[in-house]
Amino acid sequence: MLRCRSLIHRHVGRQAQKSSPKPPLVTYKVAMGSYSSVQFCGIPQGKGPHTVGCTDLMSDHTIQGSFLRLFYPCVDGEEYEEAVWIPKREYYLGLADTLKLNRTIVDFIFSYYFGSVKCPAKMNAPFKPGDKYPLVIFSHGLGAFRTLYSAICIGLASQGIVVAAVEHRDESASATFYLRERSSADSCENDVDCEALEEVWLYNKSPKPGADEFPLRFEQVQKRADECLQALDLMLDINAGKPVTNALSSNFDWSLLKDSIDDQKAAVAGHSFGAATAIKALGRDSRFRCGVALDAWMYSLRDEIFSTIHQPVLFVNSEKFQWVDNVLLMKKMDSTRVERKMITIKGSVHQSFPDFTFLTGYLIGKIFKLKGEIDPYVGMDLIINVTLAFLQRHLGLQKDFNQWDPLIEGEGEFVIPGTNLDLPPRHTQASK
């Protein structure tokens, strides 16, 4: 029984709120060469003052290297195209496996509906130097991958935050890949277009039927935390001016990041299994000054981890996903010495955090439970704004994000302090 699917599971599809204007409807040209008749609003633009760029980095072609998509303030320029949202069809196959659906059918449907969807970030646009930006390492949920939280990452980057969205290689992603040298049997001596390295794909691993799920998830969260720390090391090395080896073909100039990241202002965040990963990473590395756990799935964490975490943590929960035992694990992190906060977004569901909620209409959203009762654009604004307020408070940012401080306290039309669930009496007070 998986409680953290970051893809097409669990949620009620209905719009309810009217307080946030939506971008115009878009008709996307699909990969098969015709135009999809399906219209949807699309992944939202960032609302901050910065144009957002993104680029992919594979620091080593082997499975030991870091693999991430970086979102960052960029130099504006019309010559840079927006990034493809799902960059390779193998991700569709991984989504099919994760959902236990037929690969051919899912490949067709996803290619048709999402094959040419782009996110509002300019691929490989030059980094915008001249400031010291805070850094957030972001961890995706089970069955997701590095691009499926583009709305959150773009929203933060538009406000002047560098976000490194890690793609995990612990077999918790729906799909990911690394590169290996071609064997002699596969050599391409007579093919001038042949690449020396070939892709090796890894797909989501599930426990065997009837087996205890905990050992697998416990092992994965260790690996995931390692990858977050590795990404932090990599980004700080880049900031220090160390040369970058990228196994992926790219003309991005990494030297522009030198001295552009504030190494004293790093945080870690994630959704679902990624939120548990963020908590695990906090306990492993004090360079992370605070953490944001979005609709955390706490299953993989043992109790002893909680006593090792000394940084502030914000829990942002959906109304429909959480259950009492899971919230009680979050409450074990309550502290009188350091700020621990929990809020719940009314009308939200687990899929209010990834991007699919923006890319389906009412009917599909209802069938696949991708939408909650809250308008997805209103929900995303709340997620981004409360995160920004918490980062300003605990990273010492000199911004105006404190305008959203009431959200941290659960004050506002669409938020409540603590949880909507009925907890045992001694746990009923919201996290302080």
CATH number at residue 384: 3.40.50.1820
What was the pLDDT predicted at 361?
Answer: 79
Please determine, for residue 6, whether its predicted confidence score (pLDDT) is greater than 60. no
pLDDT-based confidence at 367, cuts 50/70/90? low
pLDDT in tens, 143-168: 999 999 999 999 999 999 999 999 99
Could you tell me if residue 264 is inside a domain?
yes
Q: Which of 328, 287, 289, 336 is nearest to 312 (CA)?
A: 289
H or E, element range at 414 = none
- What integer is the mean pLDDT of 206-215? 94
Summarised one tens digit per residue, pLDDT across range 251-277 is: 999 999 999 999 999 999 999 999 999
In a domain, 9, yes or no: no
Q: Which residues pair with 27 in a beta bridge?
A: 39
Query: Which residue in 81, 53, 14, 36 sits closest to 154, CA to CA?
Result: 53
In angstroms, the CA 300 to CA 188 distance is 44
Give residue 29's pLDDT.
32
* Tokens found for residue 280: 């695990």
Averaged pLDDT of the chain = 88
Structural tokens at position 236: 């700080």
pLDDT band at 390 (very low <50, low <70, confident <90, very high): very high
Calculate what percentage of the chain has a pLDDT beyond 70.
86
Q: Which of 162, 141, 160 is nearest to 70 (CA)?
A: 162
| Residue 46: per-residue pLDDT | 97
Q: Is the pLDDT of residue 3 over 90?
A: no
Helix (H, G, I), strand (E, B) or coil at 362: helix
Cα atoms in the Cβ-side hemisphere of radius 13 Å centred on 380: 28
Please state the rounded mean pLDDT for residues 115-124. 95
In b/e form, how buried is each residue of 230-256, taking b as 16+ CB within 10 angstroms? Answer: bbbebbeebbeeeeeebbeeeebebeb
Q: What's the average model confidence in pLDDT over 371-378? A: 93
Percent of the chain residues topping a pLDDT of 90: 77
User: What pLDDT is recorded for position 412?
Assistant: 96
Residue 398 inside a domain? The answer is: yes
Establish if 202 belongs to a structural domain. yes
pLDDT band of residue 202 (cuts 50, 70, 90) is very high
What was the pLDDT predicted at 2? 34
Is residue 21 included in any domain, yes or no?
no
pLDDT band at residue 328, thresholds of 50, 70 and 90? very high
Q: How far apart are CA 201 and CA 178, in angstroms?
A: 7
Instruction: Please determine, for residue 186, whether its predicted confidence score (pLDDT) is greater than 70.
Output: no
**Mean pLDDT confidence for 42-71:** 97
pLDDT of residue 78: 83
Q: How many domains does the chain fold into? A: 1
Name, in order, each residue with C-beta under 8 angstroms of 108's C-beta and a sequence gap of 6 or more.
none
Domain that holds residue 389: 26-182+196-427
Judge whether 277 and 225 are in contact, CB under 8 Å.
yes
Residue 303 confidence (pLDDT): 87
SS3 161: coil
Q: Running DSSP on this structure, what letter comes out for residue 290?
A: E
Q: Work out the burial of residue 27: count CB atoms within 10 Å of its CB; fewer than 13 is exposed, 13-18 middle, 19 or more buried.
A: exposed
Q: What is the pLDDT of residue 261?
A: 98
Look up residue 291 and give its two tokens.
């953490």
Exposure of 15 by Cβ count < 10 A (0-12 exposed, 13-18 middle, 19+ buried)?
A: middle
Residue 430, pLDDT above cutoff 90: no
CA pair distance 215, 27, nearest whole angstrom: 45
- The answer as to whether 244 is a domain residue is yes
Q: Which two tokens stand for residue 275?
A: 């939120």
In a domain, 5, yes or no: no
Q: Where are the beta strands (DSSP E) in 98-140?
A: 118-123, 133-139
Q: How do strand 162-166 and strand 175-181 relate by DSSP bridges?
A: unpaired
**Three-class secondary structure of residue 247 per DSSP:** coil
Q: Place 286 in a pLDDT band, splitting at 50, 70 and 90.
A: very high
Whether 13 maps to a domain, the answer reads no
Longest dimension (CA), the chain: 73
Element (H, E) at 300: none
Task: Name the pLDDT band for 431 (thresholds 50, 70, 90).
Answer: very low
Task: Give the residue numbers annotated as catalytic, written as ranges.
Answer: 272, 295, 350
pLDDT, position 366? 64
